[in-house]
A and B are shown apart, each in its own frame.
Chain A
């Protein structure tokens, strides 16, 4: 019986010590090696003053160090905060400060980004995984620190109700929010996911999804829980390398998002691809277009296709029985095992079958709230049927068919989904407004065949000022993760306003319909 998330690693390492846990780059690690490294890291963190409930930030690429750091932090009784590798300095500082992180774990090639952090947050200890020991003052070499640490688990005091992770996610206001998950919520959803996906020890899960967001993180957690092997790639940037790795390692499970399936199908059209070893493919983070499905069947002739839906606030909400993938290609299916989905109207009453309602999620996988944000938490977690219970407002509109399967209808907020990543229009607008020449900026998502939605910025310049598209792209790429940088930027003399003088996305979409049509 696992009470803490790290118990899954302890259990697997004890049952299958020599089984391969992780393959990343040139490194292959058994479960006992993985556990020993995580334990050494846990002792090192303790030695650096980390105690129960302290936050430890992990700002790393999809490397084996990153995967093991997650368990190292947990074994130190602490809370892991994984940060997207594309994060720029200002946002990194924001998150470290917001989370009140005690230690930052990172890698040498990110020094450019986290270097300036040391001055701004003098209380933060920075441990950097680096080959050479020559690091700037104030930054310690993680590898050196680990050498003399014991490889047995330190005594643990955390209980299942304690926080295990803060996962930062984009919000409508433009500032990221830390989603609080306890050991209990993550263990519950992990059990549920592994139940419906049916992972076993002979599975080899492939993932190039970032470990900092729920879908990517759970490829690793699922593998550890099942005693399977994770084949971890840094990204999908170099497809030929990714495909070779999938073949060489005979992977059995492939987790992806629609943008990657679109890239694969485009490659397949030029030079046929086929992955016969894969038995299971999953899609999440954005809706899979039904027209992709026949092509995906060709690429993965032996695989069951699982269409899934979720959000950071509960990790996973729904999955479609793979037997229905072809007959109900538009559906995300039903609630994951042990949970319930409710469709309610504006008054909180259930809607009639077939009608559109707000989707609410009920189950032990629902987050504990947003870190230090009681008002935002109260908007998303509303009292459930039992005293003290909360259900999660998904923010999405859905309907249900006669068999009870769910269909996405629309989002009820302005968040853009590009490449499966959440983009907050306000966050992009804030970056653009930091240019003094900008009068008005409005960011919207427009349909895009590859990205799902492309980020599109409308910008009006102050009178007498000059501004180029290049300047706007530059400020965005300096401040935002790559997937947030607008693909399209339209400079206009002025942006339309409502009668009340407010900028209106709706008016802009209407007035610029012709311009938008030209973009694709």
Chain B
């Protein structure tokens, strides 16, 4: 469910499409040229608002943010700590 939400956000706001085949959960945003330095700030704003977490500056690394899978795992970890 969380992955779908993230995937739809990225498709709609960074790829401007509804075609789900355009983005696989494991696709690196960097490799596929989906985001740049302003795009990553949009994604952070989105996950902070949608999933009620706070992304620290030192967490802005590819391991946390560079694919739908990475984002979902990162959000889960953050929510588990907060809970």
- A498 to chain B: which residues have CB within 8 Å? none
B65 contacts A238, CB within 8 Å? yes
Looking at the assembled complex, report how far the CB atom of B67 sits from the nearest CB atom of chain A, in whole angstroms. 13
**Residue from B33, B35, B40 having most chain A Cβ neighbours under 10 A:** B33
Looking at the assembled complex, report how far the CB atom of B8 sits from the nearest CB atom of chain A, in whole angstroms. 13
Size category of the B interface is 20 to 34
B45 located at the interface, meaning its Cβ lies under 8 Å from any Cβ of chain A in the complex = no
A450 located at the interface, meaning its Cβ lies under 8 Å from any Cβ of chain B in the complex = yes
Which of B15, B29, B37, B61 makes the CB contact (< 8 A) with A236? B37
B32 located at the interface, meaning its Cβ lies under 8 Å from any Cβ of chain A in the complex = yes
A239 contacts B37, CB within 8 Å? yes
Nearest to A273 among chain B residues (CB) is B57
**Residue from A112, A450, A451, A477 having most chain B Cβ neighbours under 10 A:** A477
A235 contacts B30, CB within 8 Å? yes
A238 to B43, CA, bound (A): 12
User: In A249-274, which residues have CB < 8 Å from any B CB?
Assistant: 259-260, 263, 267, 270-271
Interface string of B29-56 (1 = CB under 8 A from A): 1111101111110000000000000001
B16 contacts A473, CB within 8 Å? yes
A238 contacts B61, CB within 8 Å? yes
A238 contacts B62, CB within 8 Å? yes
* Contacts known (A235-B30, A474-B17, A477-B15); A271 close to B35, Cβ less than 8 A: no
A270 contacts B31, CB within 8 Å? no
Which of A85, A235, A241, A260 makes the CB contact (< 8 A) with B61? A241
- A237 to chain B: which residues have CB within 8 Å? 29-30, 35-37, 39-40
A97 located at the interface, meaning its Cβ lies under 8 Å from any Cβ of chain B in the complex = no
* Contacts known (A109-B28, A109-B31, A470-B16); A240 close to B58, Cβ less than 8 A: yes
- B29 to chain A: which residues have CB within 8 Å? 237
A482 contacts B36, CB within 8 Å? yes
A263 contacts B37, CB within 8 Å? yes
A9 to B35, CA, bound (A): 34
A238 contacts B60, CB within 8 Å? yes
- A112 to chain B: which residues have CB within 8 Å? 32
**Residue from A109, A267, A483 having most chain B Cβ neighbours under 10 A:** A109
- B59 to chain A: which residues have CB within 8 Å? 240
Nearest to A485 among chain B residues (CB) is B16
Which of B14, B30, B65 makes the CB contact (< 8 A) with A234? B30
Looking at the assembled complex, report how far the CB atom of A239 sits from the nearest CB atom of chain B, in whole angstroms. 5
A259 to B56, CA, bound (A): 21
Nearest to B15 among chain A residues (CB) is A477
A240 to B31, CA, bound (A): 18
B37 contacts A86, CB within 8 Å? no
Interface string of A32-76 (1 = CB under 8 A from B): 000000000000000000000000000000000000000000000
A240 contacts B61, CB within 8 Å? yes
A239 to B16, CA, bound (A): 25
A55 to B68, CA, bound (A): 39
B62 contacts A270, CB within 8 Å? no
List A residues at the B interface (Cβ < 8 Å). 85-86, 109, 112, 234-241, 259-260, 263, 267, 270-271, 419, 450-451, 470-471, 473-474, 477, 482-483
29 examples of A-B residue contacts, CB within 8 angstroms:
A86-B36, A109-B32, A112-B32, A234-B30, A235-B30, A235-B36, A235-B37, A237-B29, A237-B30, A237-B35, A237-B39, A237-B40, A238-B65, A239-B60, A240-B58, A240-B59, A241-B61, A241-B62, A260-B37, A270-B57, A271-B56, A419-B38, A450-B38, A451-B38, A473-B16, A474-B15, A474-B16, A482-B36, A483-B36
Closest 7 CB pairs of A and B: A474-B16, A109-B31, A240-B60, A473-B16, A236-B37, A241-B61, A271-B57
Sample of 14 further A-B pairs with CB below 8 A, known A237-B29, A237-B37, A237-B40: A109-B31, A112-B32, A235-B36, A235-B37, A238-B65, A259-B37, A260-B37, A270-B57, A271-B58, A419-B38, A470-B16, A474-B17, A482-B36, A483-B36
